[in-house]
Amino acid sequence: MSGRRALVTGAASGLGYEVAAALAAQGYDVVLADRNVDGGEAAVRRICAATPGAHAELRPLDLASLDEVRRFASHWDGPLHLLVNNAGILPPLQRARTADGHELALGIALLGHFALTGLLLPALRRSGGARVVGVTSLVYRRARIDFDDLAAARRYEPYEAYRQSKLAALMFALELHARAQAARLPLQSLAAHPGIARTAIGDARRQEAPRRLRDRAEMWAFGAAMRWFSQSAADGARPILHAATSPDARGGELYGPGGFQEWAGAPLRLVPAGVATDADARRRLWTAAGQLTGVHWP
């Protein structure tokens, strides 16, 4: 893969780091994009130490700021062969907003990546056959899109916001592939989820003091799943890497662990479920994302 360029968001740690490290080991020139500059620089050092001769660099990016996204994209030069839209958060108990006023989880997982991918479309097209991989979660099956209150301004539940953001990421990936095919673009868009992978995604939440019984119960369930049913971050990254690099993976497909309840196991092609299969809902979400970001695709 020498000479092929990959961009991985949220790559300072967790799944993003594992994906970036594996891509560098395969010979990709990898750009790690993360708002955590110290962590990102440490990640680059680890990658280069593990793979002598690896080409890896950090470029700071805060997906919660559309101005930052535009700045990042404006400085991209040359082609982009692989984009892994991995970044996401478990939102705080109290509603938080992006720099542009959007609910934080959706603002990163959908709106930030929608803007980034759209602004990098010329670079993706120059590659002559790019892949874009959207990272979702198995919790998308329990989610819905609240089109009347995407910002969760009237009613905010942190775990519902998280599930909605992951469903939105999947819908964006599937709709992007459908539109690329309709426009005859040399681009494949795929999606993947890691099952239950041990990462630092819930660390910030553990520092918060839950005020409701529901918050305590959901945090206990989250911790129990991580403790008893999870796999390592490296194993969780395998479906993402399969979607990103396997010659057997195809655009418009979803990959995840093939084990019990999709919690862990070897990568397997999965059948999307629920609202993710609703083409009208996907188009409606695409339109909303364009309006909220101001990024309108050709």
Report, as residue numbers or ranges, the catalytic residues.
Answer: 162
CB 266 within 8 A of CB 230: no
Whether residue 150 contacts residue 106, with contact meaning beta carbons closer than 8 Å, is answered with yes
Amino acid (1-letter code) at residue 113:
H
Residue type, 125: R
User: Distance (Å, rounded) from C-alpha 147 to C-alpha 12?
Assistant: 32
Report d(CA 25, CA 83) in Å as an integer. 17
What is the token pair recorded at 256?
A: 């995840």
Strands (E), 38-105: 55-60, 82-85
Name every residue whose Cβ is closer than 8 Å to that of residue 208 and which is 6 or more positions away in sequence: 92, 93
Q: How does strand 29-34 pair with strand 55-60? A: parallel
d(CA 30, CA 172): 23
Residue 2, number of CB atoms within 10 A of its CB: 8
Rounded Cα–Cα distance for residues 24 and 9 (Å): 14
Q: Count, in order, helices (H) and strands (E) of the chain.
A: 12, 8
- Please state, in angstroms and rounded to a whole number, the distance separating the CA atoms of residues 212 and 275: 29
